[in-house]
Structure 1
Amino acid sequence: MKGKTLKYIVLLATITVAGVLALQFFFLRNSYDNSEKQFRESTTIALKEVAWQLLAANGAVANFDSIAPVELITNSYYVVTTDALIDFELLKFHLMEELKKHQIYTDFEFAVNNPVTGHLEQKTLITARGEEQPSNYTFPEGKNPDTFYFAVHFPDRSPYFHSRLSVWYLFTGLLVVVILFFGYTLSVIIRQRQLSQIQKNFINNLTHELKTPISSIALSAKVISDEQILKTPKRLFEYARIIQDQNARMSKNVEKVLNLASLEKSKVFLNLEKIELEHFFEEVTKSFRHTNAGKKATVQLNLPHQKIFLVADKFHFTNLVLNILENSVKYCEKKPIIHVDTHQLKNKLLIHFTDNGIGISKKYRKKIFTRFYRVPTGNVHNVKGFGLGLDYVRKIAKAHKWKIKVDDNPEGGSIFTLIISKKI
């Protein structure tokens, strides 16, 4: 699948998912509004019937047509006018019966206005289970405190809405689960495509790295198989040296691949020991200067005079440092100069490797520690390698519970920082 095709598929899928979610939430919102409207209508009808029952008990049903019994103050607060004496127990009975009849199973509070005092009294809370408790709600006073009316407040209408919207909640939950599975599947496809591309690049690099020494060895072997070469011993020794160097180069590449495979198959076991940092870096840089990369570079150690100790696996720590130094030389188009310095911050030790190379673009910095990944250079293979060195650095740092990051060097190049949280 081509890159553009995958981008279009991802874009179309994102638009589709966003549209489905928007449509689902639109229907959910619309259902909520309808439930709100239904609650108001059902409550109004139930309270009108309560008012009718109270008037019937007083023999004053003729007054019903001359009043507007139910007044909606807020979505949860109602005032019901009766213009007739209200019996508290009778009111409580009819409220419970009428609300239940209209399937309003939720807590409600009510109070009866006393026309003499002009205050709402006998404040009571009836739970959805029918339990009676004193109410602490502050009922707003009505507009006509000298008339007979009662007030009803619903403190929590969520049980009513949940019962009406439970099916929509179920559908929405299922939709979210499906979208999560879809997103996970899509992310797996994208990761697999990226891995396929990385592996393709790795095979291309591996082919190039092995083909060159093989060709050099074959050519040298052909030359020294000629008897005439015995007449020029220096030329014979030169071709023998080429075979030896190219064989060492090929062996080193194969060893890198095998080391990576062993790290992938098993957990890294560390042989921890106490290391004095200054002495350690002197040994490592001395060893690095004898390598082909080290012969081209200048490594400057800027370490503090006081001794700094840390606990690490000396073998893996040495390889970690050598990989960073070698990487700095590889990606430098001029005389490589690498500065190594430390910075102590509370319980952390920061080791900085500052080079003057070509630098790393910000969009590639998180990817360079990925196995087989190499910063794209088109079809140019002027930098040798498989993209294994920094992956090894990341694995060893993680095994030590350290962190490794890369930043831009303002003067040109990169700054690799090893963050060591455990030191003694």
Structure 2
Amino acid sequence: MRRSLVIFYALLIYAMAELVWWGYMLVHLQPRRFAMIMGEGSMFVLVFAVGAYYMHTSMKKERKLIEQKRNFLLSVTHELKSPLASIKILLQTIQKRDLSKAQILDFIDKSLLDVERLDDMVENMLLAAKIENSSYTFPKAQFNLSALVDSIVNRLQITKCDCNQQIINAEIEPKIEITGDKFALTSVVTNLVENAVKYSKPCTAVEVKLFSKNDRIFLQVADHGIGISDSEKTRIFDKFYRVGSEDTRNTKGTGLGLYIVKEVLDKHQASIRVKDNRPSGSVFEVVFA
């Protein structure tokens, strides 16, 4: 890509130099047609400049997309290796050591949590691919959204406040029914809650609220983490985009979660916005009309 930019700029400079030279020669040979030559030359320069600008913008976007995809592949590789390594160590420990039944059950529970993490990531990638190539139809049916949110919170809930662990506080209004794609909306809720946990400090609570008001359904997920700057609020739903720079970012993720959230909600005629939390963090609010 860098070589392409160098060639592009070299050709641009050459073309402009040739244009100036031929313009000078025409004026020198036919001075009485100076106004016509300058007018046509100016129009050519304008069209050429506009075309060069759009080509430059397109090449920059392509370069950025390639970089994002490279970072995505690196992130996915790390996301896959981490839980797999954990599962391998746990199973090898069970296999090689004489453990009590309680210890074995504890190791199995930890392994299952890593399996669920892998399953969530694979589902995200598959859903993102289907959304991108328009092969997913979003089949809709009525279901209990309260039960869905409650089950996701319970699955992701961490009851002990040890190092690098959070607590999820949930306020869920019961018996809220909605018509939609249960599988896709499960991904929406999971991604929002997991993001809140991921970007929060250890032992910091995450708040999840589900309630209805004025014939609308509200889902709010709030954290007290690093927050999102105003300049990034409009970009966080882009595919592969992640908050911060690639050099300073230290949280896990693939950059697909919020992209999926936005695409799924658009298919359900629902809106999402992100607000600053106080004193720190972010609040994601989903509204189903």
TM-score, L = length of structure 1: 0.50
Query: Greater shift after overlay, 349-358 or 202-211?
Result: 349-358
Aligned ranges for residues 148-159 of structure 1 at < 5 Å?
none
The residue that corresponds to 2:222 in the other structure is 355
Distance 1:377 1:337 in 2: 27
* C-alpha deviation, 1:288, in angstroms: 2.1
The residue that corresponds to 1:34 in the other structure is none
- Secondary structure of 1:289's counterpart equals helix
Residue 297 (1) aligns with residue 161 (2)? no
The residue that corresponds to 1:265 in the other structure is 133
Distance 2:99 2:279 in 1: 54
The one of 287, 299, 302 aligned to 2:151: 287
- Secondary structure of 1:297's counterpart equals strand
The aligned amino acid for 1:317 is: L
Conserved? CA contact 1:299–1:337, under 8 Å: yes
The residue that corresponds to 1:210 in the other structure is 80
The one of 222, 235, 256 aligned to 1:388: 256
* C-alpha deviation, 1:395, in angstroms: 1.0
- Secondary structure of 2:154's counterpart equals coil
The residue that corresponds to 1:414 in the other structure is 282
Conserved? CA contact 1:323–1:389, under 8 Å: yes
1:158-192 CA-partner distances (Å, limit 9, x unpaired) = xxxxx996655543333232222211211122112
- Secondary structure of 1:253's counterpart equals helix
The aligned amino acid for 1:190 is: K
Conserved? CA contact 1:356–1:411, under 8 Å: no
Q: Which runs of 5+ in 2 are unaligned?
A: 24-31, 160-166
* C-alpha deviation, 1:391, in angstroms: 0.6
Aligned ranges for residues 15-414 of structure 1 at < 5 Å?
168-226=38-96, 229-230=97-98, 232-273=100-141, 280=145, 282-293=146-157, 296-301=167-172, 312-333=180-201, 334-340=204-210, 351=218, 353=220, 355-358=222-225, 359-376=227-244, 383-414=251-282
* C-alpha deviation, 1:202, in angstroms: 1.5
Conserved? CA contact 1:206–1:386, under 8 Å: yes
The aligned amino acid for 2:234 is: K
Conserved? CA contact 1:288–1:294, under 8 Å: no
Distance 1:238 1:190 in 2: 50
- Secondary structure of 1:332's counterpart equals coil
1:20-52 CA-partner distances (Å, limit 9, x unpaired) = 8xxx9xx9xxxxxxxxxx9xxxxxxxxxxxxxx
Q: Which has the larger radius of gyration?
A: 1
Aligned pair in 2 of structure 1 residues 265, 314: CA closer, same or farther (>3 Å)? same
Conserved? CA contact 2:217–2:287, under 8 Å: yes
The aligned amino acid for 1:212 is: S
* C-alpha deviation, 1:312, in angstroms: 3.7
1:79-110 CA-partner distances (Å, limit 9, x unpaired) = xxxxxxxxxxxxxxxxxxxxxxxxxxxxxxxx
* C-alpha deviation, 1:321, in angstroms: 3.2
* C-alpha deviation, 1:232, in angstroms: 4.4
- Secondary structure of 1:407's counterpart equals strand
Distance 1:274 1:253 in 2: 26
TM-score, L = length of structure 2: 0.70
- Secondary structure of 1:406's counterpart equals strand
Conserved? CA contact 2:210–2:220, under 8 Å: yes
Going by fraction, where is helix more abundant, 1 or 2? 2
Conserved? CA contact 2:193–2:221, under 8 Å: no
1:266-307 CA-partner distances (Å, limit 9, x unpaired) = 2442334567xxx63x2233112221247621123579xxx9
- Secondary structure of 2:240's counterpart equals coil
Conserved? CA contact 1:293–1:326, under 8 Å: no
Distance 1:238 1:246 in 2: 13
* C-alpha deviation, 1:392, in angstroms: 0.4
The residue that corresponds to 1:132 in the other structure is none
Higher relative contact order (CA 8 A, sep 6+): 2
Conserved? CA contact 2:127–2:260, under 8 Å: no
Aligned pair in 2 of structure 1 residues 236, 311: CA closer, same or farther (>3 Å)? closer
The aligned amino acid for 1:298 is: N
* C-alpha deviation, 1:257, in angstroms: 1.7
Distance 1:341 1:240 in 2: 36
Aligned pair in 2 of structure 1 residues 237, 313: CA closer, same or farther (>3 Å)? closer
Aligned pair in 2 of structure 1 residues 294, 363: CA closer, same or farther (>3 Å)? farther
1:95-131 CA-partner distances (Å, limit 9, x unpaired) = xxxxxxxxxxxxxxxxxxxxxxxxxxxxxxxxxxxxx
Distance 2:63 2:84 in 1: 31
1:302-343 CA-partner distances (Å, limit 9, x unpaired) = 79xxx9987543443343233223322322221112344566
